[in-house]
A and B are shown apart, each in its own frame.
Chain A
């Protein structure tokens, strides 16, 4: 297979996903076949071709004037927050 079990575990960790040990073989299988499938791209002759990050050529970034346009809507925005205290979003304590 294109990917080892360890590679799959590393990728999952980078993406902060937890896979059940029983699931890993199936993910390994699926991801390997995807990787093999996209490996077809190797065949394409792309010497001297620049990567295309945006579909419409020639467009450039527009600039916005430096002005405050957003009011304080903390209460509204925090309605969706799972855990908040004193206006702060809470996560399990992080030790640096």
Chain B
């Protein structure tokens, strides 16, 4: 049952071949069995899940309900969930019970999804390995000595180990795509503004986007269709109609022009991984697409740009965590300054502190022009590179990450080494472009990911390409041995 895709489960539920309560019970059992090894969840909401499942079964029996009615689901612990603890992987929000639902959460609830719990993540979404969570690292189901990727490590690991058919996730510099690649699952980050950020705890406001990790492009399409859409509570939400992402999934790919990014096939890319990606490109050619090389000359600067802009925005976004209205408060504060400093220092981990301080520095008097403004100018150059490329090709493809999953603890010593993991993914965030990662093989036994990037609002095209690829291959159906 757990091996089935979300699409199959939704159909089975509709046809009453299985009940939501049965499914939920089965998945809850898998979750419980895996927690010690994988630690994918921060909070499991078993009671509420069963209550929601019962309600879903009633709706299904009456022939009512939404597109995801009764389907077990998980939310990255960055989405506010009313009445349920929302921690953002941080001690700062360890006991925070959100009084409201994020837009994404209400929409999926309205579609009938049943929440089984909140998924572990790098603290405040800052990280590429899920090692910075206050609640302990998440492990990669393919090899538990390895990281699952981050910051949506919990979401990716849970789907890879089939603890859930799908989970929401967020992507600021690659936090959906990179863990999806490391865990051999499918993840999509939509166009900036496609999905409401209301209720999504902010890391870097001009880069954050909500998306989904699932077992297949078809599954992701099904969920994204429910998540996406205009929200008047988010000023950056785009008022444009949401296409039915399922409708065009099977379109033939003949005539599709694929650009392969020259800059991504550089010395940092692992050879075995590269082979997987090249083979994937051959599949696309067989499907009728043409592949050519394109160059985005400013792309190598995307990591430094990101590490100016994201910390700047987060240093400001995280100023609200001060122990006054919610969140961690230190004991017996001597005075106001002590309240702030100790509450924040106790509540935040080292990586969060580093990023806040980096952000504070690049915005400070005397440095703003040289760093922040400069970075935003280079950002425009990078966005222009992409625009030029999309004048020649329909989609860009390449590796999602330079290597497969690495060992826990391997990269924590030097932040820059960790940051360079995002080298292929960051560009899409800077330009606000939709991007996906789909499993494309195994490099030395570990999943490799193919990244697909499209122009603004081209989600349907990405999903179509990914789906057609997944009809020809079965990488996305592989399940790690320990969880098969």
Using a CB–CB cutoff of 8 Å, the interface residues on chain A facing chain B are 3, 7-8, 11-12, 14-19, 27, 30-31, 33-35, 37-42, 44, 46, 49-57, 59, 61-62, 64, 73, 76-77, 79-83, 89, 91-94
With a cutoff of 8 Å between Cβ atoms, the chain B residues found around residue A76 in the complex are: 99
Once the chains bind, are A37 and B307 in contact (CB under 8 Å)? yes
With a cutoff of 8 Å between Cβ atoms, the chain A residues found around residue B357 in the complex are: 8, 11-12, 15, 17, 27, 31
**8 A Cβ contacts from B87-131 to A:** 95-97, 99
Once the chains bind, are A34 and B358 in contact (CB under 8 Å)? yes
Give A73's nearest chain B residue, CB to CB: B99
Once the chains bind, are A91 and B339 in contact (CB under 8 Å)? yes
Give B428's nearest chain A residue, CB to CB: A55
Roughly how many angstroms separate A14 CA and B334 CA in the complex, as a whole number?
19
Give A61's nearest chain B residue, CB to CB: B235
Interchain CB contact (< 8 A) of B304 among A33, A37, A54, A73? A37
**6 pairs, CB–CB < 8 Å, chain A vs chain B:** A11-B360, A16-B341, A17-B357, A61-B235, A80-B96, A81-B326
The 5 residue pairs across chains A and B that have the minimum distance between CB atoms = A55-B432, A51-B376, A80-B326, A18-B341, A82-B329
Interface string of B388-423 (1 = CB under 8 A from A): 000000000000000000000000001110010000
Interchain CB contact (< 8 A) of A53 among B206, B325, B329? B206
Q: Given contacts A17-B344, A30-B354, could you give 12 more A-B pairs where the C-beta distance is less than 8 Å?
A: A3-B361, A17-B345, A18-B342, A38-B358, A40-B301, A41-B371, A44-B374, A44-B381, A53-B376, A62-B232, A82-B329, A92-B334
**8 A Cβ contacts from B347-372 to A:** 348, 353-354, 356-358, 360-362, 364, 370-371
With a cutoff of 8 Å between Cβ atoms, the chain A residues found around residue B95 in the complex are: 80
Roughly how many angstroms separate A62 CA and B232 CA in the complex, as a whole number?
9
With a cutoff of 8 Å between Cβ atoms, the chain B residues found around residue A56 in the complex are: 191-193, 238, 432, 456
User: Given A31-B361, A49-B380, A55-B432, is A41 in contact with B301 using a C-beta cutoff of 8 Å?
Assistant: yes
Q: Which of A30, A50, A59 has the most CB of B within 10 A?
A: A30
Please give the number of chain B residues whose Cβ is less than 8 angstroms from any Cβ of chain A in the complex.
73
With a cutoff of 8 Å between Cβ atoms, the chain B residues found around residue A34 in the complex are: 307, 354, 358, 415-416
B480 at the A interface (CB under 8 A)? no
**8 A Cβ contacts from B154-197 to A:** 191-193
Give A36's nearest chain B residue, CB to CB: B416
Once the chains bind, are A64 and B336 in contact (CB under 8 Å)? no
User: Given A27-B357, A55-B430, is A40 in contact with B192 using a C-beta cutoff of 8 Å?
Assistant: no
Interface string of B323-334 (1 = CB under 8 A from A): 111110100011
Once the chains bind, are B325 and A89 in contact (CB under 8 Å)? yes
Roughly how many angstroms separate A40 CA and B378 CA in the complex, as a whole number?
11
Roughly how many angstroms separate A52 CA and B207 CA in the complex, as a whole number?
12
With a cutoff of 8 Å between Cβ atoms, the chain B residues found around residue A30 in the complex are: 354, 414-415
Give B95's nearest chain A residue, CB to CB: A80
Interface string of B424-440 (1 = CB under 8 A from A): 00000111100000000
Q: Could you tell me the dominant secondary structure of chain B's interface residues?
A: helix
Nearest CB in chain A: distance from B420 CB, A: 9
Once the chains bind, are B333 and A92 in contact (CB under 8 Å)? yes
With a cutoff of 8 Å between Cβ atoms, the chain B residues found around residue A41 in the complex are: 301, 304-305, 308, 371, 374-375, 378
Nearest CB in chain B: distance from A11 CB, A: 5
Once the chains bind, are A38 and B381 in contact (CB under 8 Å)? no
Once the chains bind, are B304 and A40 in contact (CB under 8 Å)? yes
Once the chains bind, are A18 and B298 in contact (CB under 8 Å)? no
Once the chains bind, are B308 and A15 in contact (CB under 8 Å)? no
Once the chains bind, are B301 and A44 in contact (CB under 8 Å)? yes
Nearest CB in chain B: distance from A18 CB, A: 4
Nearest CB in chain B: distance from A36 CB, A: 9
With a cutoff of 8 Å between Cβ atoms, the chain B residues found around residue A62 in the complex are: 232, 235, 239
With a cutoff of 8 Å between Cβ atoms, the chain B residues found around residue A14 in the complex are: 360, 364
Once the chains bind, are B232 and A35 in contact (CB under 8 Å)? no
Interchain CB contact (< 8 A) of A54 among B206, B305, B358? B206
Roughly how many angstroms separate A90 CA and B414 CA in the complex, as a whole number?
40
B315 at the A interface (CB under 8 A)? yes
Roughly how many angstroms separate A41 CA and B325 CA in the complex, as a whole number?
39
Roughly how many angstroms separate A76 CA and B83 CA in the complex, as a whole number?
10
With a cutoff of 8 Å between Cβ atoms, the chain A residues found around residue B37 in the complex are: none
Give A37's nearest chain B residue, CB to CB: B416
Give A45's nearest chain B residue, CB to CB: B381
**8 A Cβ contacts from B207-254 to A:** 207, 232, 235-236, 238-239
Roughly how many angstroms separate A75 CA and B115 CA in the complex, as a whole number?
26
User: Given A44-B301, A46-B377, A92-B333, is A55 in contact with B192 using a C-beta cutoff of 8 Å?
Assistant: yes
Nearest CB in chain B: distance from A90 CB, A: 8
Once the chains bind, are A38 and B375 in contact (CB under 8 Å)? yes
Give B383's nearest chain A residue, CB to CB: A52
